[in-house]
Structure 1
């Protein structure tokens, strides 16, 4: 196949490829010869059908395959010989649309090449690793928060009115059109007001009740209520209040620790301290990663594929528009034009994406099957009862696989860069770490 360059401007490339009629015919005959031994046809023994007859019978079908294979082969050879890598799938189209058998095949291929990334001297990059130790005050604060989640309830003073957050123990009988319905009654039911455990409007009407009081609660079932015979209907619940209790935090002792699976209080404190320091380390890593990306952005310069930047800018503009318009869930809205700020952010993202990809390629960073399986399992937990369907979806969806693989790859490349860079540790307080994290989020 004859290949002629038609465009070479910056990263834009264009080529004209011509497959002569003879080349195409030779490929068709070669494919037919390859298949000939297995073909049977009435009047001929297996493998003895003459090629002219095979061509007449199957030539049209084989022609398209031969043409596609020739174009694919020419493209592969071009990229192998030139050493270029396309930024996206090349655009390929047949230019002689009035083609008929016996004519040459003329094809146009165009793409944007990935730029050459300058060699990166990671050992010249200086980074600061923030270190935060979990002090006793932080552990005690976390312990107190943990105790509040394991709260108990104690009886309020006799005659006290129930408040939001209190636990009301009561009997109730629900009726629709004066008739009690299945599942609408209970005795000694403990309900925490404000927990939204019951249908909308129910719990609010129990705020202010006292032990020993009787009260009718009138509510309407939602139109989409799961029990169709109750959906949209008004119901009256006759309630008898038996107790009103206020929430109290659980006592911080060995018994509390055992509720959370620890041997004793000291063991629970150790677990909390370790968890806090893991959280601090995660925040510190995010800050150091930003430092790395900023350093790479400043030190490396090269031309960016225009189409990649344009697509990224449009995606950023679209995402931010939806964040500003949360009520619009679909894409039925005016076209959103990227601003200068969107384009500048897109340029940074594309640039750093290419840099990290090159770092990973040079360092031969790979995402293992075990790492991918772990990522899929973590995602599958978001769909309880549908884990198997999610696994099958990922297996059959290369785009989803890439979405799961990309952040793993990036994290491994970043870790590799950390190992090569000059890293100094700096111990700071929890408050200073939070300030640094806030500053990072505000940028």
Structure 2
């Protein structure tokens, strides 16, 4: 949307008096079910949170990007000479690593480069102001919110039309190739397509958006921040992702694909269309589970060659938990689809029978994260506190969200009783841990 001339003092100080400004916003998201199974083709259920990123953009007279974030205390203003910025993604990533503020600015510069390159347009110099209250490192997609909002503002400013899911895909490409974080597409899709009081089902193969599902009356999903910073770029997330694709490679070869060809063939030519989540749990257990042994990267390379995921790197001296990381998306897809069907059939008349089953699916998902190595003692504590309160309190389920290894825990609660119990849990958690935590309500 356009910004009127009577905009805030902050905007007036940052932009020129006669600049035409475009502003766009996009929310963070909470992962209710699905999480790290997105890169393996699972169904996921996502919900926007009230916190959002607001990006305001105006055309700059110089061939330069001037970017400022109101949410960062130091190095919060960056100037990028576009004559010096590499157009190739890998070179741009290395360039941004060596400038002050390049770490956070790479999300904005990344989408600028992707939009320029993919649409073959010269965007020129821009003034870009970021104002986001989506907290960083809490597992609620602060980066996707900024990327999507920035792209929305840029495409409106330059009247660039994008088809269907192109905008989220461009945002993901920026994070993968310029920022260097191997995230799936789930976060960007959720930030772009999510709607309040609804769950967004996405079949991540890679971007099949299903109809939004109304959250039934009196059912709430509450996020409690563990106080432990989550990072999708962390080594554990990358290793879990790599291990899942190692497992897929073993399964594909057991299904008849020569290891020399595993990286050459398209998804149409390899088993299960390249997605672990297309394998049923029973088929996995009967045909493949016993073939998946944990091993060092160097042994996998020797025995099985490569993997199909271009964002994963097999490290020779890392020991990979292949079985658990392969099993997770297979079972998670089954859990998510079951959870979704139960949700669609939930009513006041049957909630006491259905909600415990849905909650159990959330608890199973949480434990599966732990088996993969993406758990954390603080998120475990919140889940344990939720389980201890039990159904009588109105709390029916809890699980770690997003990429794991800290971040936020999602609670499923029913009625005012459940909301009050979750608030009490949150207060007790803060008191016991001295964490400066946050709570995210639906």
The TM-score bracket by the shorter chain reads: under 0.3
* TM, length-normalised to structure 2: 0.18
- Tell me: higher relative CO, structure 1 or 2? Use CA pairs within 8 A at least 6 residues apart: 2
Larger radius of gyration: 1
